[in-house]
Amino acid sequence: MGCFAQNDSLQNPYFKSYNDKITGSIYYLDTSNSFQIASGNLDSETFVNLIPNRREQIGFNLNYKIIDISVGFAPKFLSQNKGDSHSKNFNFNTRFYYKKWMQSFTFINQKGFYISDDNITAQLPDMRTTKIGGSTAYVFNNKFSFKTLVSQNEWQTKSSGSFIPTFSFYYTNIDLNITDTTPGDIYVFTLAPSYFYNFVISDRVLIGTGIALGVGINDIDGDSSALYQADFNLKLAYNKDRFFAFASINTVSFAQDEKVNPRLNDNIATLKLSAGYRFDPPKKVKEVYDKVNQKIGL
């Protein structure tokens, strides 16, 4: 059952490649793009949290060669999904790989939020946010498998880590849909040095982790300010050549400079549980991919 990964393993003893297989999986996701309005100074700072009603999702992922696509939906029957049937949370994520480069793309559309602070909890059923963006990363260490951490078409066989600088760009539109308010447009540009490491526990089990701290520029309706970024990644994974399963936690946080008052902080948090299977691609899929690859040289 492990024969199809053997050649890649011989080429690089630090990780196996399952690049010639289609990787399909289903997952449970507790995710949200929440916002925090902070005002005042350090001695008398107040916070108002804007949290989406729909957080929990179920979805599926397909991965083949350089393509990695995930689509998730947030049904109301999951326990953390609040609000009425008009609340929505739709996520689309994809990644493309080229040699040591990785490009990600994210689309998040949310409708229905609630306000949460120390004193009140109130519904904003018509509030809507849309986020579009992504990141470009470069992996320096050839012995480190970034795909082991973010997908399942590679598997680290010997512990290794890498410095990975990342440039991120996001556009977010926030619309309260309340009388006498106008939608807000937010642009974020950041550069974040990061370090990731895969700890190989056994042939079947590993722990992957990573942290990034960055700075950038935040523009809200034409007003620019400094921005700070903090990312954290943790993954516990089990792998066989066909079957795999994992649990992961990821956070991406953007905080405006404290000199800005009030400040709008932005956080994307994700807990993911997933299980999947690798299988041979249909002959037609392989033929189409090979033809495209010959023309554009991926």
- Mean pLDDT (10-residue bins), the chain, 298 residues: 38 85 91 76 70 81 80 68 67 83 91 78 86 95 92 91 96 86 88 96 96 92 88 96 95 82 80 93 82 72
Q: Provide the β-strand partners of residue 285.
A: none
Given a contact cutoff of 8 angstroms between Cβ atoms, the answer to whether 36 and 267 are in contact is yes
pLDDT at 211: 96
* CA atoms of 233 and 272, how far apart (whole Å): 11
Given a contact cutoff of 8 angstroms between Cβ atoms, the answer to whether 86 and 111 are in contact is yes
Q: Strand, helix or coil at 240?
A: coil
Q: Which fold has domain 3-296?
A: Lipocalin (2.40.128)
Tokens of 122: 């109130």
pLDDT at 223: 84
pLDDT at 85: 58
Residue ranges of alpha helices (H) inside 103-145 are none
Of 247, 235, 244, the residue nearest 277 (C-alpha): 244
* CA atoms of 135 and 111, how far apart (whole Å): 24
Tokens of 274: 């997933």
* CA atoms of 212 and 254, how far apart (whole Å): 12
pLDDT at 4: 36
Model confidence, pTM: 0.80
* Burial status of residue 180 (CB atoms within 10 A of its CB: 0-12, 13-18, 19 or more): exposed
pLDDT at 3: 39
CA triplet 90, 124, 89: central angle to 5 degrees?
5
Given a contact cutoff of 8 angstroms between Cβ atoms, the answer to whether 267 and 35 are in contact is yes
pLDDT at 8: 42
Of 253, 205, 259, 251, the residue nearest 229 (C-alpha): 253
Tokens of 23: 């990787």
Given a contact cutoff of 8 angstroms between Cβ atoms, the answer to whether 229 and 212 are in contact is yes
Given a contact cutoff of 8 angstroms between Cβ atoms, the answer to whether 214 and 179 are in contact is no
Given a contact cutoff of 8 angstroms between Cβ atoms, the answer to whether 231 and 252 are in contact is yes
pLDDT at 167: 96
* Burial status of residue 168 (CB atoms within 10 A of its CB: 0-12, 13-18, 19 or more): buried
